[in-house]
Amino acid sequence: MQKQKITIIRSTVVPLPIENVDTDQIIPARFLKATSREGFGENLFRDWRYNADGSKKDFILNDSHYGGAILVAGRNFGCGSSREHAAWALFDYGFKAVVSGFFADIFKNNALNNSLLPVEVSASFLQKLLTVISNNPKTIVEIDLPNQQVRVPAQKMVQEFEINPYKKICLLNSYDDVDYLLSLKKKIEKFEKNRNNDYSNTL
């Protein structure tokens, strides 16, 4: 899976106003046998999208009115098991961010480690956002990572969100943990040089 830099995500959205969506609903356990991160998007919400015979169910991902790079979900999204495949499936399907009133901690960390931005908003903002989307599926939502804001320009809706500062740097620069350390190489070398000089001066 190719990591992607995230700055401002501007997109229509897919509403999923269901609370307590667990990781087995996001990607059922029977699809976890693959050894690479690609291909999981095909089975995202598989049991909600398809009948046993492969025919489509009445589910939001099958509704042509809705689409985009942002999923807006109900509270407590990503609860249940710790499978990282849930974040893989959402990213592979094409989502760049998930907005919810609350995320399970393990899912949130898995998302942040896989270029998927989890955005936690207040219950009132979430409800208003879902209502706006329901009234107009073409509503554009902006998620501004540098300024940590969710915006709906047409409705003049704005809310700030929190994110771990370290994870923010990683997402803005498409870093994993190793990349981040490498980005500090010159600073580390300078620190070591200065420390060695200070030590020599004390001898």
Q: What is the pLDDT of residue 178?
A: 67
Q: What angle do CA 198, 202, 203 make, to 5 degrees?
A: 120
Residue showing tokens 């809705």:
66
Rounded Cα gap, residues 87 and 93, in angstroms: 10
Rounded Cα gap, residues 91 and 160, in angstroms: 23
Q: What is the pLDDT of residue 163?
A: 97
- Does pLDDT of 88 surpass 80? yes
pTM of the model: 0.87
- Does pLDDT of 200 surpass 70? no
Section 188-193 average pLDDT? 66
Q: How confident is the model at residue 33 (pLDDT cuts 50, 70, 90)?
A: confident
Rounded Cα gap, residues 78 and 175, in angstroms: 23
- Does pLDDT of 1 surpass 60? no
Query: Among candidates 30, 23, 25, 170, which has minimal Cα distance to 85?
Result: 23
- Does pLDDT of 192 surpass 90? no
Rounded Cα gap, residues 107 and 64, in angstroms: 28
Section 7-27 average pLDDT? 97
Q: How confident is the model at residue 126 (pLDDT cuts 50, 70, 90)?
A: very high
Q: How confident is the model at residue 57 (pLDDT cuts 50, 70, 90)?
A: very high
Q: How confident is the model at residue 186 (pLDDT cuts 50, 70, 90)?
A: confident
Q: What is the pLDDT of residue 39?
A: 85
| Cα 147 to the center of its chain, rounded Å | 16
